[in-house]
Amino acid sequence: MKIVVLDGYTENPGDLSWDGLKALGEVIIYDRTSLTDQNEVIERVGDADVIITNKTPVSAKVFDACPNVKLVTVLATGYNVVDYEYAKSKGIPVSNVPTYGTACVGQYSIALLLEICHHIGYHSDTVHAGKWQNHIDWCYWDYPLIELAEKTIGIIGFGRIGQTEGKIAKAMGMRVLAYDLFPNDFGREIAEYVDLDTLLAESDVITLHCNLTPENTGMINKDTIAKMKDGVILINNARGQLINEQDVADALNSGKMYAAGLDVVYTEPIRADNPLLKAKNCIITPHMSWGAKEARQRIMDTIVMNVKTFMDGDPQNVVNK
């Protein structure tokens, strides 16, 4: 079994081991492969049996040029980088890694919110720069400090990650609202399910934890923002395409939206002309909320299982059955 990893660096920059995968066959690992040059992908896949990719696209062209491929497994939950329908037509299963980041992604969304509330990194920098030791007062803060207790958080998409965030928010004394297409009893123990308009109107903080679909692409836009409270806080570490970036930038600059904490943007890596880069009170981090070592270890373990179960004739986590 020949296995090619097209872009292994973000999954394993050196703090994990590929040994579990190497025990299953010949493994060739590339740190990075072109995101735009499918000819490079074809050259690297060659006669491999298994392709492992994170963000490197695997198109129909690759499948046609590499007829030995029998399995593609993605180092992530999302699998839109693979032409999985074409793979299905050729009898090639595509597998993913579900639920690996529930704890760390939910935790990170709260971290973004707390940074907006306290600007801890900024104030630490001012102390190291000498501002405190030279200050006329015994303490200071350069941004308003926000207490979250008794405020309302509205979570759009209340699956595993949304519910994890909801538990933390509830523990901090927040009222938790949820909007989800499939309410369940676990969610009802944490939040009050409401319709989307109610959530938009009543929430002091709105967070996104839904899957990206054609129906919800750009769901945070000037029309939905108009339904929100003045001074609302927006958190998004789900998918960048859920928001209209210009509309959010406009809302931040006008003061309609107090702040945004974003770990994802529409086009990644972020483009220099992204309007959010110059928007007021907008924290942007580089799509890193999934990257805790514990979460990446779960990815590694699941990838090994995906390949092994395929070899055993019972492939798991297949998304294109």
* Tens digit of each residue's pLDDT (9 = 90 or more) over 240-294: 999 999 999 999 999 999 999 999 999 999 999 999 999 999 999 999 999 999 9
How high is the pLDDT of residue 77?
A: 92
Mean pLDDT along residues 58-71:
98
SS3 content of the chain, % helix, strand, coil (to 5): 35, 15, 50
Mean pLDDT along residues 23-30:
98
The whole model's pTM is what? 0.94
Catalytic residue (one of 44, 119, 287, 296): 287
CA-based end-to-end distance of the chain = 22
How high is the pLDDT of residue 295?
A: 98
Second CATH level (architecture) for the domain 102-284: 3-Layer(aba) Sandwich (3.40)
For 191, the 3-state DSSP assignment is coil
Catalytic residue (one of 43, 150, 268, 294): 268
Catalytic residue (one of 44, 119, 239, 296): 239
Residue 287 annotated as catalytic: yes
CATH 3.40.50.720 holds for 2-98+293-311: yes
The whole-angstrom separation of Cα 87 and Cα 85 is 5
CA distances from 24 to 2, 4, 150, 175 (A): 9, 12, 53, 49
**Span(s) in the chain for CATH 3.40.50.720:** 2-98+293-311, 102-284
